[in-house]
């Protein structure tokens, strides 16, 4: 197999690592923003408080944790890599925790995470990654998807 054929194979395999987390995160972000808009998850912060402005992003991250990790575990089990599930999920969970911290930077952290996800999606797909790094990549996709889903409904309203 020549280098071009290898790149095509890796690109097709990498697509799964981009699309599944992004769609899962996007759906969770839509659900989170719907809950915020309906008042079912009203902000505990005062209207003038800085943390009130970040409530939508934090709710999206809270909502994506459980479904995101379940999807990650199911995908890894389907691949027959059951011994690596914990390591894979640890990578994703640590990225979500990092996203909590970075999203508190006046929203700038969300753009930094998006940039990291684009960079990872462009370069990591060319390699056979260890489970933790693959989990970080999926975690970035979950986070960017959740932010995008929440933002899509927030802009609409």
- Check residue 2 and give its pLDDT: 53
pLDDT > 60? residue 93 = yes
Q: Is the pTM of this model over 0.85?
A: yes
Q: What is the mean pLDDT of the chain?
A: 87
pLDDT > 90? residue 44 = no
- Check residue 11 and give its pLDDT: 59
Is residue 135 within 8 Å of residue 90, measured between CB atoms?
yes
Burial code of 122-155, b = ≥16 C-beta within 10 A, e = fewer?
Answer: eebbeeebebbebbbbbbbbbbbbbbbbbbebbe
- The size of the chain, in residues, is 157
Report which of residues 84 and 14 the model is more confident about: 84
pLDDT > 90? residue 45 = no
Q: How confident is the model at residue 99 (pLDDT cuts 50, 70, 90)?
A: very high
DSSP alpha helices (H): ranges in 54-130?
Answer: 55-78, 85-103, 108-123
- Check residue 55 and give its pLDDT: 87
Report which of residues 82 and 45 the model is more confident about: 82
Q: Which DSSP helix (H) or strand (E) runs through 47?
A: none
């Amino acid at each position: 197999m020549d280098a071009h054929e290898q790149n095509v194979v890796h690109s097709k395999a990498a697509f799964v690592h981009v699309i599944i987390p992004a769609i899962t995160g996007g759906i969770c972000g839509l659900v989170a923003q719907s809950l915020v808009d309906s008042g079912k998850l009203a902000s505990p912060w005062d209207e003038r408080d800085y943390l009130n402005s970040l409530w939508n992003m934090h709710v999206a991250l809270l909502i994506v944790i459980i479904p995101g990790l379940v999807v990650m575990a199911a995908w890894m089990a389907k691949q027959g890599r059951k011994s690596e599930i914990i390591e894979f999920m640890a990578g994703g969970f640590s990225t979500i925790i990092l996203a909590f911290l970075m999203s508190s930077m006046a929203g700038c952290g969300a753009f930094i995470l998006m940039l990291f996800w684009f960079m990872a999606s462009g370069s990591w797909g060319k390699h056979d990654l260890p489970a933790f790094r693959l989990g970080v990549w999926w975690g970035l996709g979950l986070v960017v998807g959740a932010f995008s889903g929440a933002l899509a409904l927030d802009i609409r309203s």
